[in-house]
Structure 1
């Protein structure tokens, strides 16, 4: 059984909280194929990871901790991008206004953006001496073909092999792996989760045009779900910080939503 959790809000949709509770509910393994964080806005999380010579985000860490298998954040999140603010209109290599990607962790290696300054603390603690540097879109595309896509293929294979997998997308992107079809999909936003049949959701992803904001191969959630009706729409109660950090408590609070999702998956 493969379940996809996506968010209709770019920030703080509640995907990870929903996913950790779902992992507890089904005794499954979580995956977040792509993730990222910002050196400025997520300073504590970045420093904690690089202190161990690693790079991962709090979402992957929470998913790994909630998983039935003994997995590390890097195992379930093969691609992690580090950003930093970039004042001005220039979006750099990937067209993201007001922020610039600094480096990617792809599996166990790194790729640097030659047009971005790597913070001193990051340079000191991560093994970047032999990391390839990209300075043009063509170079980034070439590295993506050689490194990023094989890493995504490898995690897709791992997901296929698991009996109970929860795959969390990133931002408001409809799915984190091209061609991925889940048995059921939960689109989460504050106070609500909408449940979709996995095959119909995948078909809508293929039909939706790529988002100009994120790239021609990615679809935004709203563009996808505009084409299909949910099987169910369920309310999600607000949870305090202590409950959000405890997968079992989330599972109890959201059990009605998980029952609806599993009914569609079956």
Structure 2
């Protein structure tokens, strides 16, 4: 059976999950086990990460900067669209005066982060099926600083689904998120002995269809904490009130319910030793045929 390692951030941003993922993959690869990296949900800003935006335009697909970095250090068999099935592009709006806001729910994150494009991908018999939600009206009215030619480069080989409000995005997401993520993950599991799952920011559990994992690592600057996987999952679902998706439960909300099994201090730019991997519960010795 394929083993699953979940990386969760203790902070809302810059916890260090991607750095740890790279180290774990390197350590596991030295054991001759095949490893895939899965980042179900991500996003970046057209302006603040313009070099990455240019790379996306060159390759004709929106994808995570972190996923690209991690995959560059490994030898993945999966296409990046399935390793990173959902990705959002935020774009600054054109403003006529300082602090101007967009009278549209697509701009709830502020004038510098208008939700402009959102890609959903899943595997199909013919390859990959991608649908991109596009704020087409904002593009045509030149309300955001990205041009139609650039949008065209980012939406090649994808179906277009026009949206004019955050509510429309949320409705599409409600109907399609679980299917796209679960089917993409199943594809990756068929390719590897171990899959490393990197959650979004400090979300404690990335999607409902993930019924179990074999290891949970909570990451913060300079530190990694391991938790009992089943107790961790139960704590997340215990705190999932109302109709919100499970990914809305943050680690902060469950931290007082759990005690870590192990604590490890990590030093920048150093590899994980075999002893440290064992301490974190990552001493897997399995193949897909097991």
**Normalization by structure 2: what TM-score?**
0.76
Q: Which moved more, 1:151-160 or 1:191-200?
A: 151-160
Taking the aligned partners of 2:49 and 2:185, their CA distance within structure 1 comes to: 28
Is the counterpart of residue 104 in structure 1 residue 123 in structure 2? no
1:9–1:171 Cα contact (<8 Å) kept: yes
Give the number of aligned pairs.
253
CA distance change for structure 1 residues 219 and 204 in 2, over 3 Å: closer, same or farther?
A: same
2:203–2:251 Cα contact (<8 Å) kept: yes
Is the counterpart of residue 196 in structure 1 residue 198 in structure 2? no
Secondary structure of the corresponding residue to residue 80 of structure 1:
strand
CA distance change for structure 1 residues 64 and 210 in 2, over 3 Å: closer, same or farther?
A: farther
Structure-to-structure mapping, 1:69-88, within 5 angstroms: 69-85=76-92, 87=99
Residue 83 of structure 1 deviates from its aligned partner by 1.0
Is the counterpart of residue 135 in structure 1 residue 184 in structure 2? no
Structure-to-structure mapping, 1:114-125, within 5 angstroms: 114=136, 116-117=138-139, 119-120=146-147, 122-125=150-153
Q: Which residue of 2 aligns with 1:242?
A: none
**Normalization by structure 1: what TM-score?**
0.82
2:82–2:185 Cα contact (<8 Å) kept: no
1:111–1:134 Cα contact (<8 Å) kept: yes
Q: Which moved more, 1:92-101 or 1:164-173?
A: 92-101
Secondary structure of the corresponding residue to residue 40 of structure 1:
coil
Q: Which residue of 2 aligns with 1:11?
A: 13
For residues 12-40 of structure 1, what are the alpha-carbon distances to aligned partners after superposition, in whole Å with 9 as ceiling and x for unaligned? Answer: 21111100111122231111111111111
From 177, 197, 221, the counterpart of 2:251: 221
For residues 23-72 of structure 1, what are the alpha-carbon distances to aligned partners after superposition, in whole Å with 9 as ceiling and x for unaligned? Answer: 12223111111111111111101111112212112211123233443233
Q: Which residue of 2 aligns with 1:59?
A: 66
Secondary structure of the corresponding residue to residue 280 of structure 2:
helix
Taking the aligned partners of 1:190 and 1:254, their CA distance within structure 2 comes to: 19
Structure 2: gaps spanning 5 or more residues: 30-34, 94-98, 122-129, 286-290
From 207, 216, 224, the counterpart of 2:238: 207
Structure-to-structure mapping, 1:31-50, within 5 angstroms: 31-50=38-57
Taking the aligned partners of 1:265 and 1:184, their CA distance within structure 2 comes to: 10
Residue 255 of structure 1 deviates from its aligned partner by 5.0
Secondary structure of the corresponding residue to residue 11 of structure 2:
coil
Q: Determine which structure has the larger helix proportion and give its number.
A: 1
Taking the aligned partners of 1:254 and 1:224, their CA distance within structure 2 comes to: 29
Q: Which residue of 1 aligns with 2:279?
A: 260
Cα RMSD over matched residues?
2.9
Taking the aligned partners of 1:24 and 1:222, their CA distance within structure 2 comes to: 29
2:26–2:74 Cα contact (<8 Å) kept: yes
